[in-house]
Amino acid sequence: MPFITVGEENADTVDLYYEDHGSGRPVVLIHGWPLNGASWEKQEAALLAAGHRVITYDRRGFGASDKPASGYDYDTFAADLHAVLSRLDLRDVILVGFSMGTGEVVRYLGGYGSERISGAVMLGVVPPFPARTDAHPDGLVGSALREVRGAVRADRPAFVAGFLADFYGVDVLGGERVSDQVVQYSWDIGVAASAEAPLVRAPARLTDFRADLARIDVPVLVVHGDADRTLPLSSTAVPLCRSVADARLVVLRGAPHGLIWTHADEVNEELLAFVAARRPECEALDHHLVEC
């Protein structure tokens, strides 16, 4: 299996598993928590059919990548992404992040710039700033963060199961847009991840990306569901879009957080149009475009 070394822990290397398929403009897909690179199967198939080169990789601590005890912060994640882009010498790249992966996209562009990047797509976004403040009343509070850490420590498999139920909106979309088997598959992947990753991920959820957003100088497409219970639209995608000079927000009606599966056709339509044009489409079909 192909691996890229991104660091060291004690006497061994930290290696990321990646897959590189197709040819044409490179599109790098960065997965969300608690999944891995295989979660992009619907997007990868569409991109390959459209003639693009598709690179996926498992974040440290997830999938087939190494599972060190440290490095679960966005500075390290961005450095890992930089190692992938550099090792494969990728240029004219479209970065695509989902959920936690949107933090990597934003932190990478804020810290490493856009020399290798021609555009970015962010799906089910985390930035700009998930924490609750007087100026940001919809964010997370400290007690919620403590509850997450406590639930993970008490029964991580049960926590992942509950998370995925909201992630896919199973009570509304189960049996229609997402099967029991998909939810089970996601749970299998989630519980196989490093036990340390969700514990250190909790503080990372409060990362402030606002300075990074101000440095983004490539076109950005933001796609978010208006039924997202994990990362509500009003406190994530809307302010993110307003913070980037060249950004468009597409809101998918009825889409939960796990929209890359439940609303894959709609996501792929927007993704393929953006990759083809290097900038977001100005009109949508069954969903609506929000001018920021």
Lowest mean pLDDT among 2-11, 52-61, 107-116, 220-229: 2-11
**Whole-Å CA distances, 46 to 42, 216, 260:** 6, 27, 12
- CATH superfamily membership of 3-290: Alpha/Beta hydrolase fold, catalytic domain (3.40.50.1820)
Quick: pLDDT tens for 16-44.
999 999 999 999 999 999 999 999 999 99
Strand ranges of the sheet holding 26-30, from the earlier edge strand across to the other edge:
3-9, 12-21, 53-57, 26-30, 93-98, 117-123, 220-225, 247-252, 288-290
Q: How far apart are CA 129 and CA 123, in angstroms?
A: 16
Which of 58, 65, 80, 99 does the annotation list as catalytic?
99
Quick: pLDDT tens for 137-192.
666 555 566 677 788 888 999 999 999 999 999 999 999 999 999 999 999 999 99
**Is 82 a catalytic site residue?**
no
Q: Tell me the pLDDT band of 11, cut-offs 50, 70 and 90.
A: confident
Quick: pLDDT tens for 93-127.
999 999 999 999 999 999 999 999 999 999 999 99
Residues of 70-89 as b/e, b for ≥16 C-beta within 10 angstroms?
ebbbbebbbbbbbbbbeebe
Which pLDDT belongs to residue 285? 38
Smallest CA-to-CA distance from 39 within 27, 53, 57, 52 is with 57
pLDDT at 68 over 90: yes
For the chain, which residues make up each domain, given as ranges? 3-290
Neighbours of 146 (CB within 10 A): 11
Q: Tell me the pLDDT band of 280, cut-offs 50, 70 and 90.
A: very low
pLDDT at 198 over 80: no
**Is 118 a catalytic site residue?**
no
* pLDDT, the chain, mean: 89
Q: Tell me the pLDDT band of 1, cut-offs 50, 70 and 90.
A: low
Amino acid at 131: A
Block residue for tokens 């879009």? 241
**Is 246 a catalytic site residue?**
no
Helices within the chain (DSSP H only): 41-49, 74-87, 100-112, 142-154, 156-167, 170-173, 180-192, 196-204, 210-214, 237-243, 259-262, 264-277
Which pLDDT belongs to residue 206? 73
pLDDT at 196 over 70: yes
Burial of 135 (0-12, 13-18, 19+ CB in 10 A): exposed
Residues 6+ apart with CB under 8 A from 235: 130, 136, 138, 139
